[in-house]
Structures are given as structure tokens and as C-alpha cells.
Amino acid sequence: MNTLTADDRTQVTREATVEYWKHIIPIVQIAFAIHVLLLGLFLIVDLPVMWVTNAASVAAYIACLLAIKRRLYRCAGMLICIEIIAHAAIATWVLGWDSNFHLYVFCIVPIIAFGFHSSPVRRGCLSAAVLIVTVGGYLLRNKVPVFSISENARDLFGAANALTATALLLHATALSVRFNLSMHMNLYHSAHRDSLTNLYTRRRVLQRLRQLGGGRREIPTALVLIDIDHFKQINDKHGHDMGDVVLQQVADVIAQCVRTTDIAARWGGEEFLVLMPNTRFEDARLIAERILTHIREQGGEIRQSLNLTATLAVAILKDGETFRDALNRADQRLYEGKQEGRNRVMLAE
């Protein structure tokens, strides 16, 4: 069942929002710096309306950064959106359409889309404000500016704002893409990694098998099945916390012994599986022997009185054989290894 409960949705939204604003903070800091520079510039050229507006903008960004620090993300988003929309409207009215201050409103489109996705009324109002500033400013371009500035100064403002607004939009888009990829990476890790051992789960093994497909191969696919010996006794004697430590240590051994092309997974309980594409039987056996040797060495390192061993079985996927058939052969040999005294590598040739 893939449907999330209301609590699950709330938790996912909360975590995604935190991650999103981590990526947006640099944009807020850059915007703050830009408005500090503009404040100084408008003080120098003595445009009271604009320097007062920029002073208010600087205060708004300080409040925004404080809101982000306190995780008041919706408040921060509203502050940014109102500041940029209002600033763009005032600057366009004062300096004219050709000053290109209206271009900054496009930088807040991702914030409106993400920050207010669950508030359609606020999202609609902010979106309408963006349209009013851009379309309205264009329609009224011949009736503004209120204050006359030289053509050269207007061209300078226009070029600088076009460059800065476009650069900010490109940077914000890159950060949004990074955020999206980061979320996908986290989701993939959660779906395919065991939370205790950090090895892959069954899902990743089966996914890799589908990628490998069927048919004959010059070099076959091998698998190694690994089962910790007397694991229940370890839990009973040393406690479940120690059992978790043992699982983690064995998982670390397996991860260190296999190759980057192999898929090492926690198969269930104290059982592990390593899928080895393009691996000959003898090579898989050598890796299994190395894993067993290192597992034996881990017992004394975890606790001096702990005798840690494992039983392993090595098998090859034969031509026309399913993974389930090969796994059953390995599992049968593993069982026989347990009967024969454990602490050994069994070959399911």
C-alpha cells in the first residue's frame, strides 16, 4: 500500500521544506548584499523614495534570515515574495520599465510554487501580484517614470538589473535542481539501503537482476549467501544491542571485501547475500573465503569473549536457471554447512 497517512505527509513535507530552505539561504544572502549596495547607491544619487525602499528591503531580508534560522519558513517565504514584488513595483514606477527591476519577480516563482503549494489562496495572490507587476508595468511603460533620470543612467540600471536578475534566476534554478536531486538520492538510499547495516536491501538485488536480464553470458553471475553462526545465542548471552553491533561489523566486513561492481545486501535477519555479476565461480569462492577470514577476526575486536563465525555458500547462476533456483541451491548447501559444524564456505557447484 503506497498511500501515505496524514502524519506521513506532514513529516515528508516538513523534511522537504527544511532541505529546500537550506538550498535557498545563499539566494537570500546574495539578495541581502545586493540591496545593501543599492541602498548605498541611491543614497549617493539622492533618490529618497528608492533609498527608503531599499532600507525597508534590507530590514526585510534581516527578518527573513532570522525567520529561516527559527524555521519559520512560510513567514520567510512571504517576506521575500512581498519584498521583491513591492520593490519591483516601486522601482518600475520611479525609474521606468527600462530599468528592468521587474525582472527580479521571476526569481521568486520557485519559492511561490514550493513554499505555498499547500496554500492555494496565498499562492494565487502572489502569482497574481507577479503578473500585475510584469504585465501592468509593461502596459504603463509610457506613463512612467515619475522621476526623470538620464538615458545613460537608465541604460546602466537596465543592463545591471538584467544581468543580476538573470544570474540569480539561473543560480536559483541550479539550486532547485540540486535540491531535487538530493531528495531523490535520499529517497533512493532509504528505499534500497538497510537502516542498520547500510547494505543494500532485497529490492536492490532484484532490481540489479532485472538489469542483468537473462540469456547466456561468457562470464556468469555468482552469488554468496552468508549466515552468522549461533546469532540467537549472541543475542541471548550478550543482548540485542550487541547483536546489532555484530550485524554492523559483519556488514562492514562484507562491504570491504566485495568489489564496487558487486551488490552486498542484508537478506534477512542475520543472513546476507552478495550478488556478483560477471564473476567466475573460483573468484567468488576466493572472495567468500576472504569474508569468512575477516569475520573470524572481528569477534575478538568486538568483545574478547565473543567467538564470531559464519557459514557461507557460493553458487553460480547456470544458463537457463532462475535466480530463485540458484538461491535455493546455495541455501541448501548453507544448511548442510550448518549441519557439518558451521564456520566454513560451502560450494554449490
Q: Quote the pLDDT of residue 142.
A: 81
Kindly state whether residues 12 and 145 are assigned to the same domain.
yes
Kindly state whether residues 250 and 168 are assigned to the same domain.
no
Domain end (from 170, 192, 214): 192
Kindly state whether residues 175 and 319 are assigned to the same domain.
no
Kindly state whether residues 135 and 212 are assigned to the same domain.
no
Q: Report yes or no on 197 lying in a domain.
A: no
Q: Quote the pLDDT of residue 1.
A: 42
Kindly state whether residues 307 and 289 are assigned to the same domain.
yes
Kindly state whether residues 12 and 131 are assigned to the same domain.
yes
pLDDT, one tens digit per residue, over 15-41 is 888 888 888 898 899 999 999 998 998
Domain end (from 159, 192, 225): 192
Kindly state whether residues 80 and 131 are assigned to the same domain.
yes
Q: Count Cβ atoms within 10 A of the Cβ of residue 41 and give its class: 0-12 exposed, 13-18 middle, 19 or more buried.
A: middle
Q: Quote the pLDDT of residue 286.
A: 96
pLDDT, one tens digit per residue, over 81-140 is 999 999 999 998 888 888 899 999 998 998 898 888 888 999 999 999 999 999 998 998
The whole-angstrom separation of Cα 161 and Cα 101 is 6
Paired with 315 in beta bridges are 223, 348
Kindly state whether residues 32 and 169 are assigned to the same domain.
yes
Q: Check: CB of residue 74 under 8 Å from CB of residue 174.
A: no
What sign results for the dihedral spanned by CA atoms 237, 238, 243, 248? negative
Dihedral, 129, 135, 140, 141 alpha carbons, nearest 10: 120
Domain end (from 165, 192, 219): 192
Kindly state whether residues 177 and 110 are assigned to the same domain.
yes
The whole-angstrom separation of Cα 309 and Cα 343 is 5
Nearest to 78 by CA among 27, 131, 122, 134: 122
Q: Report yes or no on 1 lying in a domain.
A: no
For 215, the domain range is 202-348
Kindly state whether residues 10 and 140 are assigned to the same domain.
yes
Q: Report yes or no on 157 lying in a domain.
A: yes
Residues noted as catalytic = 270
> Residue 213 — φ and ψ, nearest 5°?
70, -170
Domains in the chain: how many in total?
A: 2
Q: Which three cell numbers stand for residue 131?
A: 503578473
Q: Is the pLDDT of residue 143 over 80?
A: no
Query: CATH number, domain at 334?
Result: 3.30.70.270
Kindly state whether residues 113 and 41 are assigned to the same domain.
yes
Kindly state whether residues 24 and 120 are assigned to the same domain.
yes
